Structure 1
């Protein structure tokens, strides 16, 4: 019976993820819609207990032998990156989900890669990654959003990659090409087709994708839906400072003549609330993140029994 209840509990959390973009009007800087208002304007999720991003404290990370290597399909395909767009809150690149897939890494099945977007501060000197490691914030962070291929899971899997500044100029070439499109999408709503110049593998050059952190969190923008499977790679992409600076000096948050530049587009780190951050590093084997008992273990005792009671009732009603 306990196994059934815990399985239902895991399913409940995964079903809380609905979509990457909600219908709520939100922003980063205006007092009427900035981050401090998100728990009010998106009350259902943005004030939840499993929010992202978080500060990853490496001393508290638990080794998990279940966190194996990933399998990537289409990440070397330059035709799979189709459109780049200024959304008004980020720069987003549309990926062809029929060509790009990811599996393994203890994910519950195969996932289709649908888009990636970026978070940054105000130039390479004022960092703007969303996750931090031991309090360190990186200049930028790239998020690859993945949706399940089958109907066996409603969860999203997001791959997060830090971007570190290098002292080179115009490197790497893939990022020089990517940033060359920024002048075509200066205003919010602008978009441009990508011309098969680079692949996702090219953009992730230098990142050892067998080394990563794993935890259960949320989307980092409203609606802040929880149940997101987060993978944060330990190795950063090294991009030259001049290219990083282009993001905060080229694109604007709207299409008016007095629009502010798009800067400091990241959410503050959120409370961990007892969640366990795991790593692929070899060590004592612990239950997988998506194992129902692992999810239950991440809940405090004060929350466990009320939730189990409600979940049991939910399961009983579902079988009637």
Structure 2
């Protein structure tokens, strides 16, 4: 733990209206509420800047990011149910530009078991989110980079980025 972090509380993670859709961008599967590949990032900007990124980026504490690693779990078929429900929408977004409504799924639902108590100081979770391999494989066997004759979305990752003095 670091002495620079202050306590924080998760709010709104049980809001089933916070995530509205899942979209195939042609490069990644985007859950409209900030999601990633085999990790899940939750990024929060200080609300006093009303979403103005130029101002947010000028302050060293303007953004906070939490990372959750997703661990491949074998032995349990299509579990957890939360990720089975999310991946069930992939068949609706097989081609670039397609999206599916996912209201009714909350962040709390997706990260249950991978989130430490909200009152604890931390900069990363104490445990990974365990998702069955069958569900993870659906991302690379269902979603394509373009149309139905395009290759499946595999080996899609963000390249190494500079630490910018960090």
TM category, shorter: 0.7 to 0.9
Confirm whether residue 193 of structure 1 aligns to residue 104 of structure 2.
Answer: no
Aligned to 2:153: 262
Measured at CA, do residues 272 and 148 of structure 1 come closer, stay the same or move farther in structure 2, by a change above 3 Å? closer
| Equivalent position of 1:118 in the other structure | 36
Which residue of 1 is the match for residue 69 of structure 2? 162
**Which protein has greater RCO, CA pairs closer than 8 Å, 6+ apart?**
2
1:258 CA drift (Å): 2.6
Structure (1/2) with the larger helix percentage: 1
Partners of 1:192 and 1:208 in 2: how far apart?
26
Using the TM superposition, give the Cα deviation of residue 233 of structure 1 relative to its aligned residue in structure 2, in angstroms.
3.3
Q: TM-score, normalised by structure 2?
A: 0.80
1:81 Cα offset (Å): 1.5
Find runs of 4+ consecutive structure 1 residues off by over 2 angstroms.
Answer: 144-148, 155-159, 208-213, 232-235, 267-275
Of structures 1 and 2, the larger Rg is shown by 1
Alignment of 1:247 onto 2:139: yes
Match of 2:129 among 237, 262, 276: 237
Aligned partner of 1:91 in structure 2 is 29
Unaligned runs of 5+ in 1: 1-62, 95-114, 120-139, 214-231, 276-320
After superposition, the C-alpha distances for 1:171-212 in whole angstroms (9 at most, x for unaligned) are 11110000000000111110111241x211110111234464
- Deviation of 1:160 (Å): 1.7
Alignment size in residue pairs: 153
- Flag the structure with higher strand content: 1
Evaluate the alpha carbon distance shift between residue 68 and residue 79 of structure 1 in structure 2; reply closer, same or farther with a 3 A threshold: same
Per the alignment, do residues 258 and 245 of structure 1 end up closer, same or farther by CA in structure 2, a change over 3 Å counting? Answer: same
Structure 2 residue corresponding to 1:177, chosen from 85, 91, 100: 85
For the 8 Å contact 1:164–1:239, the answer to whether it is kept is yes
TM-score (normalised: structure 1): 0.44
